Amino acid sequence: MASIQQRGDVFFAQVRIKKAGVIVFSESKTFPTEAMAKSWAQRLEDKVRKDGAPTRSMTVGELILEHLAYQQKLRPLGRSTIFNHETTAQAFNKINLHELTAKDITDFVIRRKAEGAGPATIMSNLSPLSSAVHAAPYAHGIQVDPMPVDLAIKKLKEAGAIGKSRQVIRLVDDEEEAALLAEFKRRNMHHQTEIDMTLVYKMAIALPRRAGELTRIRWADVDYKRKTLVIRDVKHPRQKIGNDQTVPLLGQAFTLLDQIPKLGEFIFPYNTDSMTAAFERARDRIAATGMPKIADLRFHDLRHTGITQLFWAGLKIEEVAQVSGHSNWVQLKRYTHIRPEDVHRRWDALQG
Mean pLDDT taken over the chain: 87
Instruction: Decide if pLDDT at 168 tops 90.
Output: no
Higher pLDDT, 112 or 239: 112
- Tell me the mean pLDDT in the region 159-166: 85
Instruction: Decide if pLDDT at 65 tops 80.
Output: yes
Catalogue the E-assigned strands of 127-252.
Answer: 222-223, 228-231, 245-248
Q: How sure is the predictor about 57, in pLDDT bands with cuts at 50, 70 and 90? A: low
Q: Are 97 and 58 in contact (CB under 8 A)?
A: yes
Lowest model confidence (mean pLDDT) among 5-9, 82-86, 107-111, 299-303 = 5-9
Burial of 290 (0-12, 13-18, 19+ CB in 10 A): exposed
- Give me the pLDDT at residue 48, please: 76
Query: Strand, coil or helix: what is 218?
Result: strand
Q: Are 54 and 75 in contact (CB under 8 A)?
A: no
- Give me the pLDDT at residue 243, please: 79
- In angstroms, rounded to a whole number, what is the distance separating the alpha carbons of residues 120 and 101? 22
Please tell me whether the overall predicted TM-score, pTM, comes out greater than 0.75 for this model: no
- Tell me the mean pLDDT in the region 189-195: 82
Distance of CA 261 to the CA centre of its chain: 31
Instruction: Decide if pLDDT at 208 tops 70.
Output: yes
| DSSP per position, 299-317 | THHHHHHHHHHHHHTT--H
- Span 299-325, pLDDT tens digits: 999 999 999 999 888 888 999 999 999
- Give me the pLDDT at residue 343, please: 67
Instruction: Decide if pLDDT at 351 tops 80.
Output: no
- Tell me the mean pLDDT in the region 181-206: 92
Find the angle CA(267)-CA(268)-CA(272) to the nearest 5 degrees: 145
Q: Which helix (H) or strand (E) holds 44?
A: helix 34-51
Lowest model confidence (mean pLDDT) among 62-66, 188-192, 332-336, 341-345 = 341-345
Q: Are 125 and 112 in contact (CB under 8 A)?
A: yes
- Give me the pLDDT at residue 167, please: 67
- Give me the pLDDT at residue 169, please: 79
- In angstroms, rounded to a whole number, what is the distance separating the alpha carbons of residues 340 and 254? 29
Instruction: Decide if pLDDT at 180 tops 90.
Output: yes
Instruction: Decide if pLDDT at 131 tops 70.
Output: yes
Instruction: Decide if pLDDT at 37 tops 80.
Output: yes
- Give me the pLDDT at residue 157, please: 94
- The CA-to-CA distance between both ends of the chain, in Å, stands at 76
Closest Cα partner for 311 from 294, 334, 277, 330? 334
Higher pLDDT, 70 or 343: 70
Kindly list the structural domains of the chain, giving each domain's residue range(s) and its CATH number in brackets, ordered by start. Answer: 2-158 (1.10.150.130), 174-351 (1.10.443.10)
| DSSP per position, 191-208 | TT--S-HHHHHHHHHHS-
Instruction: Decide if pLDDT at 262 tops 60.
Output: yes
